[in-house]
Structure 1
Amino acid sequence: MLLLQVLIVTLTWSYGYSQITLLQTPLSFTRTVSKSARMSCKTSGFNFNSAYIHWYRQNPGAAPKRILYIGSGSVSMDEGFDSKKFEARNDVSGSTSNLRVHQLTEEDAATYYCAVWDHTYGIKYFGSGTKLFVSNIQARLNVSMIQVLPPSSEQDGKVSYMCLIQDFYPNVIKVTWEDDKKNAEENAVHEEIWDPDANQKSYSMSSWLTVDKNNNKNYSCKYQHESKDGSHPIESPDTPVVSQTTEGCINKPENGTTLSTDITDSFMHRTAYLIYIVLLLKSTMYYVIVLFFIYRMQSPIKHRGKKP
């Protein structure tokens, strides 16, 4: 009986815990110095009219600091923050809190979080965060550099697709896989974002989806970025390779043949080249270290041979 009561309390707590959500938009903001940036926090699962929404700023390598909290029609600023710079307003009808940062400086480049207290359980819920970039580089995502590569060779009755997204800035992007408008995230593996060209501030990433070879569902690679949102559909693995990519993902020559094999080979060669460069640099470093120790070992011998 005691075990049943504990289980009921646990389920009730879990249910209440899962209902409160704070969805922040956009994922990132890129603005130049002296401009303004506006971000939103849409909430659900609690009484917005009586709640206090807290806004935090987390600079790189530092702990989050609360800027202010807003509720009951008033805003309370924390010490060290200026009310002329940080402006907060609540949209009660939309259960949304908005934060605007004025006269941006490089110090404002940070991740901003909204939060709310659940006083029933003494838990503070945080939003997903909005990352603010203060830069002269404009946000971009090159759609022509998005490739949905053909399925890999079958292994244990499964095949894998890869969505390769190249040439975007800033390095904040969300990639999901959808199955007939239903999330198929449990089958996806997201690779780390890498920076192949630090001077150009151009980023790339890849995401893999593994599915059963014989399924007949339609999948799509969906991406969300500050500059552009969209998706690239993938047809069933049973369909020919030519029809498994959308226009713009794979370039076609004038004779109409598909260059999917060339793209795959190019990607593999590029990866092999990067690995070769890394190994070469490591070998050179080891060689320098060995020469250094040999020199240190020979120096005392030379000194011992000299006359006092």
Structure 2
Amino acid sequence: MRKYIAKRIAVSVPIILGVILITFVLMNYIPGNAVTAMMQNKINNETVARVEEEMHLNDPILVRFGLYIKDLLHGDLGTSFVMNQPVFNLIKNAFPNTIKLALSAIAFAWILGIPIGIISALKKNTCLDKLFMGVSLMGISMPTFSIGIILQYLIAYKLKWLPISGFTTPAHLILPSIVLGWSMAGEISRLIRTNLIDVIQADYITTAKAKGKSRMGIVIFHALKMSILPVITIMMMQFTSLLGGALITENIFSIPGIGTLSISALSNRDIPLLQGTIILSTFLIIIGNLIADIIYALADPRVHYD
């Protein structure tokens, strides 16, 4: 296992560098000018030229990329063009908000998705199964922004049960958690249902039934253990993607997280800030996949990566 982890970490380095390079190149071909966006078009051409020179924006792209990697190796993510603050500090201030949102959304998804998947498998092809799978499919199919706007209008604006936006109290977490967790719960429930239906038909489950064990005991202690293994990877990928920033949801509900930073950086051609958020997202996805593989191996003794 140690060799496998070391190999995965070694492979991750060129992946992160490749993502940084691709993003860096693409950002330089987006129409617009970072300086004019930063100054809001209230400066003359001479000032633009001077600021571009100071920020090395006139240097060849490979030179600028080399300077960025040099600073990155020293732990410096650069300074935001627009906010004029260290990117590390901006990410450090926004990341806790994204963590809170991710934890609440993933808790909603797992608490809702796993029981629904189990019930749907046990009640296969019944009205309850069709209802649960219909709601799950709706959550997977509907765009996040549509769900968010509908819930804001009905629950927050019309019924006034919850705050419509903001991030100051625990109540502000409920609506965005539902928006993010609905689709994830749908994926989890449908996957568990499919796997559980297949596992229930296995020979060892038939043997357990012949020994007189209760149906619920068989499902929980035998069938579910094997059914949930493929779901582990999906669950970890969901969690790490949320930590990387739920762009649309954070903007709809005015949550000052990583997603909001990313969109702000992209809109203003703020290359250092965008690079910082992308590095964070890439790193989290790689670590999440590695953790998922480790959990998978611990849960199933048959898996040996070495």
- What TM-score comes out, normalization by structure 2 length? 0.25
RCO comparison, higher one (Cα < 8 Å, 6+): 2
Task: Pick the structure with more helix per residue.
Answer: 2
Give the TM-score normalised by structure 1: 0.25
Write 1 or 2 for the structure with the bigger share of strand. 1
